[in-house]
């Protein structure tokens, strides 16, 4: 069957409506005597896989020591109540043995579930899939099999189990990643992990527990083929923009749930016992998120109040105020400032690059807190305030007061890579990286290269950002902590920290100022405009876009390196 491509993200959909019910498989007879219930159970595999127990697509056959929960419900006027018990598969069949004399009724409904239930007396139970299904054991336990049959007294009981969950099979391909690189992908999906099931007289899916939505991680079986088992559920509208996330090489690629399936059928639900096949082609350069009218923050930033609630930081002398946000440790951004910001006054007046690096390092240490602790890092870490920070002080004491390279300065700190004008580096994370490794990524923003697109790629991954700006007489390094996008999805403002605004830290605050209160701001809101295919940031006068944006430097959290390091 040909699959209709889903634009714009290249998402291909195929709904395989094969029901996973059993018709033939392994069979065991409990006991040869007529007064014993002859009980057998089977699961039909989806394909010709040779896996004996759990295949890529779920449980395929019962094995010794598997346990099921069995409900026996006699029918008729003189029938007894429902009998519930746990049955275990042995080499001699299902145990404990079940005798007909325990069952009062001429017609009897047998209903069973796998995996076993914790409560054999419950008429309704909640089944929850594993949030991380990478391990085969947890993937298998996420499945739910049920069988039901009504038989006359004394007849054999053949329980044909079928899958009651929904299965998604995802095939991952790429023209820009090798198969080996793709195999390192970690794939998440937004879904409700729990569903309520009626047990007697016959099994029935009640409803998913839709108040709880989690990120659920796929299981990888064959190379670059992934599976996840989910409860049946409606597709929520919020998932149209963000449903599946693929983490690979420090980047996150986002896909929304498609509006329709092959043939134009509306895609509104994951159905029980059905398989949905997705084909995703992953491109390093793709941008998949809808960015229109959004404010996006660097990974890890949180609880930042809306900009229209901020107080004023300063003004341009013409009655125009500029809003700012005072630093708070819970926000996640940093604002190391020079002690001597006036150019040519010594100490650190030319060390904007070091202040920008210090902010990125503080962010990196905080976001990697658990890894850093396990690594045994004992270097500078205290951030007292914008003019009292250990990391910036390290740069002050190890470098002369002159301009330098941001990417080189980051590598000097982490790996010991030599940098002109500096003393020997402590190389605090030399065991995590290769010797003298360059740790940052430099992104030039020249004519016809979209700042909007570059920022979108960065915000899709866990990275801190330095931004180099310039005028006709100076080059300056600042930090970007967030961005605002307009109705067309183009960047229209940046949220920055500027290490030259030391005066904002020292200024008195709290008194009325242009209709608001004055604040000791650290984070500033700066409009951005594209002029003749070049990007400019507003300067110290409202409406004057005087700072040309030259390049970006990014620092990744290095999750892949951390995982490799701690596996050694």
236 and 379 in one domain?
no
pLDDT of 264 reads 79
- Is residue 458 in a domain? yes
Domain total of the chain: 2
237 and 94 in one domain?
yes
- Is residue 290 in a domain? no
* pLDDT over threshold 50, residue 144: yes
* pLDDT over threshold 80, residue 31: no
- Is residue 288 in a domain? no
Please state, in angstroms and rounded to a whole number, the distance separating the CA atoms of residues 406 and 61.
59
Residue 297: exposure state from Cβ atoms within 10 A (0-12, 13-18, ≥19)? middle
346 and 455 in one domain?
yes
Please state, in angstroms and rounded to a whole number, the distance separating the CA atoms of residues 379 and 367.
16
What Cα–Cα distance (Å) separates residue 458 from each residue in 233, 439, 497? 33, 15, 18
327 and 244 in one domain?
no
Q: Percent of the chain scored above 70 by pLDDT?
A: 88
271 and 300 in one domain?
no
- Is residue 465 in a domain? yes
Average pLDDT over residues 173-191: 92
Considering the chain, what is the average pLDDT of its residues? 85
- At residue 103 the predicted structure's pLDDT band, cuts being 50, 70 and 90, is confident
CATH number at residue 140: 2.60.40.2630
pLDDT of 96 reads 92
- Is residue 239 in a domain? yes
190 and 122 in one domain?
yes
- At residue 203 the predicted structure's pLDDT band, cuts being 50, 70 and 90, is confident
Q: What is the DSSP letter of 287?
A: -
pLDDT of 423 reads 93
Asked if residues 357 and 466 have their Cβ atoms less than 8 Å apart, the reply is: yes
User: What's the pLDDT tens digit per position in 339-390?
Assistant: 988 876 778 999 999 999 999 999 999 999 999 999 999 999 999 999 999 9
pLDDT of 199 reads 82
pLDDT of 557 reads 95
- Is residue 434 in a domain? yes
329 and 262 in one domain?
no
27 and 141 in one domain?
yes
- Is residue 532 in a domain? yes
- At residue 289 the predicted structure's pLDDT band, cuts being 50, 70 and 90, is low
pLDDT of 225 reads 94
pLDDT of 77 reads 63
In 3D space, the residue among 361, 343, 362 whose CA is nearest the CA of residue 351 turns out to be 343
User: What's the pLDDT tens digit per position in 43-89?
Assistant: 865 432 222 233 444 556 788 999 999 999 888 766 667 888 899 99
* pLDDT over threshold 70, residue 32: no
Q: For residues 289 and 269, which has the higher predicted lDDT (pLDDT)? A: 269
205 and 65 in one domain?
yes
Please state, in angstroms and rounded to a whole number, the distance separating the CA atoms of residues 201 and 187.
38
141 and 61 in one domain?
yes
Q: Which domain-ending residue is among 221, 247, 282?
A: 282
* pLDDT over threshold 80, residue 228: yes
379 and 419 in one domain?
yes
Q: Which of 124-128, 337-341, 421-425, 522-526 has the highest mean pLDDT?
A: 522-526
- Is residue 287 in a domain? no
CATH number at residue 309: 3.90.70.10
Q: Which domain-ending residue is among 282, 310, 329?
A: 282
User: What's the pLDDT tens digit per position in 110-132?
Assistant: 999 998 887 777 778 888 999 99
What is the DSSP pairing of strand 166-174 with strand 275-282?
Answer: parallel
* pLDDT over threshold 70, residue 9: no
Q: Which of 99-113, 163-177, 403-417, 452-466 has the highest mean pLDDT?
A: 403-417
Average pLDDT over residues 383-408: 95
* pLDDT over threshold 90, residue 261: no
pLDDT of 241 reads 76
261 and 311 in one domain?
no
Q: Which domain-ending residue is among 282, 312, 332?
A: 282
0.85 exceeded by pTM: no
pLDDT of 531 reads 92
Q: Angle at which helices 352-367 and 406-415 pack, to 10 degrees?
A: 50
Give the residue numbers spanning the domain of 266: 5-282
Average pLDDT over residues 214-240: 92
């Amino acid at each position: 069957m040909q699959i209709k491509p889903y634009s714009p993200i290249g998402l291909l959909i195929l709904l395989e409506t094969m029901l996973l019910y059993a018709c033939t498989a392994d069979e065991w007879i409990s006991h040869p005597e007529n007064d014993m219930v002859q009980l057998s159970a089977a699961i039909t595999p989806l394909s010709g896989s040779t896996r004996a127990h759990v295949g890529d697509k779920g449980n395929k056959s019962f094995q010794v020591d598997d346990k099921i929960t069995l409900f026996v419900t006699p029918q008729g006027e003189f029938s007894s109540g429902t009998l519930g018990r746990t049955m275990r598969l042995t080499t001699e069949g299902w145990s404990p043995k079940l005798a007909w004399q325990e069952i009062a009724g001429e017609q009897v409904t047998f209903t069973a579930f796998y995996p076993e239930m914790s409560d054999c007396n419950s008429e309704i139970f909640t089944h929850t899939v594993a949030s991380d299904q990478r391990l085969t054991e947890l993937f298998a336990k996420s499945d739910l099999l049920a069988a039901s049959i009504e038989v006359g007294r004394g007849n054999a009981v053949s329980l044909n189990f079928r899958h009651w969950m929904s299965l998604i099979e995802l095939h991952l391909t790429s023209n820009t990643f090798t198969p080996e690189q793709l195999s390192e992908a970690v794939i998440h999906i937004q879904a409700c992990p729990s569903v309520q099931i009626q047990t007697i007289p016959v099994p029935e899916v009640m409803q998913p527990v839709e108040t709880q939505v989690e990120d659920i991680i796929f299981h990888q079986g064959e190379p670059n083929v992934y599976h996840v088992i989910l409860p049946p559920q409606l597709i929520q509208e919020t998932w149209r923009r963000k449903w599946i996330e693929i983490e690979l090489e420090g980047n996150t690629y986002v896909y929304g749930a498609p509006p329709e399936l092959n043939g134009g059928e509306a895609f509104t639900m994951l159905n029980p016992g059905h398989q949905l096949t997705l084909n995703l082609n992953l491109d390093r350069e793709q941008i998949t998120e809808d960015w229109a009218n959004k404010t996006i923050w660097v990974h890890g930033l949180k609880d930042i109040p809306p900009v229209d609630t901020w107080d004023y930081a300063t003004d341009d002398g013409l009655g125009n105020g500029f809003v700012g946000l005072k630093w708070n440790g819970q926000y996640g951004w940093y604002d190391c400032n020079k002690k001597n910001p006036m150019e040519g006054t010594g100490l650190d007046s030319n060390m904007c690059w070091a202040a920008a690096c210090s902010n990125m390092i503080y962010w990196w240490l905080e976001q990697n807190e658990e890894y850093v602790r396990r690594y045994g890092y004992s270097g500078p870490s205290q951030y007292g305030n914008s003019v009292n920070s250990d990391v910036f002080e390290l740069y002050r004491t190890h470098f002369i007061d002159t301009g330098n390279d941001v990417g080189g300065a980051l590598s000097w700190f982490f790996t010991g890579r030599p940098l002109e004008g500096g003393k020997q580096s402590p190389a605090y994370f030399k065991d995590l990286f290769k010797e003298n490794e360059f740790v940052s990524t430099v992104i030039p923003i020249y004519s016809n290269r979209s700042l909007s697109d570059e920022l979108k790629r960065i915000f899709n991954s866990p990275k801190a950002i330095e931004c180099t700006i310039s005028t006709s007489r100076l080059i300056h390094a600042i930090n970007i902590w967030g961005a605002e996008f307009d109705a067309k999805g183009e960047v229209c403002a940046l949220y920055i920290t500027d290490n030259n605004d030391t005066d904002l830290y020292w200024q008195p605050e709290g008194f009325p100022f242009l209709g608001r209160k004055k604040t000791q701001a650290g984070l500033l809101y700066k409009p951005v405009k594209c002029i003749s295919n070049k990007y400019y940031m507003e300067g110290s006068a409202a409406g004057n876009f005087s700072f040309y944006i030259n390049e970006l430097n990014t620092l990744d959290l290095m999750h892949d390196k951390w995982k490799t390091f701690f596996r050694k």
